[in-house]
Structure 1
Amino acid sequence: MTDSLSFKSPPFPVTLPVYQGPLDLLLQLIEREELDITKIALAQVTDQYLAHVRAMERQNLQDIADFLIIAARLLLIKSEALLPRPPERAPGEEDPGDELARQLILYKKYKEIAAALHEREAAGLRTFLRTAAPPKLEAKLDLSNLTTADLWAAVTRALSLMPDAPSVSSVVAPPKITIRDKIKRIQHALRVEGRARFFDLLHEATTRVEIVVTFLAVLELVKQRRVVAAQGKVFGDIVIEPVGDWINDDSIRIYSEMESNGEETDSAATPEPPTPA
């Protein structure tokens, strides 16, 4: 700092209780912490220099500028020594000043956006006025003079315009859906694809009963250990894979049909289901 100062006139001497000598040397001693700045009265230094300037026959502006630099440096050092220092922040701790500045910037943006929205509202950008006149409502139908005979005549006239329904000579019974039929459908799918999906088996189902019977057919095959069924998630599709070579066997015994028909179902009369491969 003091190396760049070059007094053209002889160095200005300073006389203080703790120091006597050139002003630039005083600054060097203070910067090297060889002299306590708090014991230096800067007001005395300033008064002595002003008296020195008044006594000069010819004032040198460069010397005055150099003195101002030294005086400013001394004032900065003393202010740092006298003023309390802020507590040191932990590593990673944010500067409160930076946080305050960021909040002020956000608040400014908020105010600008609020003002822009207010201008849009005042300009009516979200207002849509009706361009056409409102439609006229038709007058209400006067039914005060209508009688029961008039209503009956109107109903009779409307019914007379309807075509006659064809006569029904017989009642068509709904098709009978059996577990055996659905097992054959599953067999066909397994022979063609190697595996079957329950949702695919329901493509041809037209009634809720047919869906239930298809599911019972799957349960029957699982019960006889002829297929394994796997479901990846709740309410998901069911993948059905065969166990063994039974898919070409059309003589599958269905235990529920045997019980309903009164057939023997003991271990001697019923063949063992195939063992899983």
Structure 2
Amino acid sequence: MYELKLDHYQGPLDKLLELIESKKMEISTIALASVTADFLQYLEGFKIDFGIDEKVVDEQVQYNAPLELLADFLVVASRLLLIKSKTLLPSLELTQEEQEEIQDLEVRLKLYQEFKKTQEYIRAQWSEMPKMYTREFMLSAPTIFYPPSQVGPNELLGAILKISGALEVAMTPKVRVKNQILNLRTKIEEVIAKLTNAPKNLRELHGEGSKTELVVLFLAILHLIKQQIVRVEQGDHFSEITIAKMGELKVE
């Protein structure tokens, strides 16, 4: 659905957004229902001024406004009437397609609102300071943009999608893993406590811990072996390593 302005008239989404914002309302089904009458009145004035009668449309007649624009207005008007009917008759059952059309109108309007905000932001940024440098006598000349001839709607859409994808990646919250500070003495005491009742293998002592915890656990076991507090046994190559207490000795 395209938005364009013809002297005093605006596109359907532009006008609809203006009506809602004039009532200081958020975009919602209730807001859309509340501006239905105003929108239809605007549409009638549009048709009268441009001499358009949708009941008798002659493709050979040159109208002052494109029929595609009138069609866009009529599509929006039909959805507004549907919303208004549902508001007045809560028991009215809507089809899945009708519900999707209403949701689509809300989504389009919210996107258009964001577009207009961004448009105003870019305009303000551009007017704050010159974005290019030229010879002094040309500083007062108006800025004119000449789009390259090889750039069309498809190229612009591709560029926008590329920028949008890059922004989405850049704005995705980064998951930060907090480094856990592990104390060797605490780990030694933990190992001794776990070996009080029965020997344990390395897998049981480690549990679901991280690689960092495994390194600290290994250092703790080496310290306990050196102090002759525990003994380590392995029946065969690549079999489980079993750790058992040797006696009640104080950790130095």
TM-score bracket, normalised by the shorter chain, equals 0.3 to 0.5
| Greater RCO, 1 or 2 (C-alpha within 8 Å, sep 6+) | 2
- Pick the structure with more helix per residue: 2
Q: Normalized against structure 1, the TM-score is what? A: 0.31
* Larger-gyration structure (1/2): 1
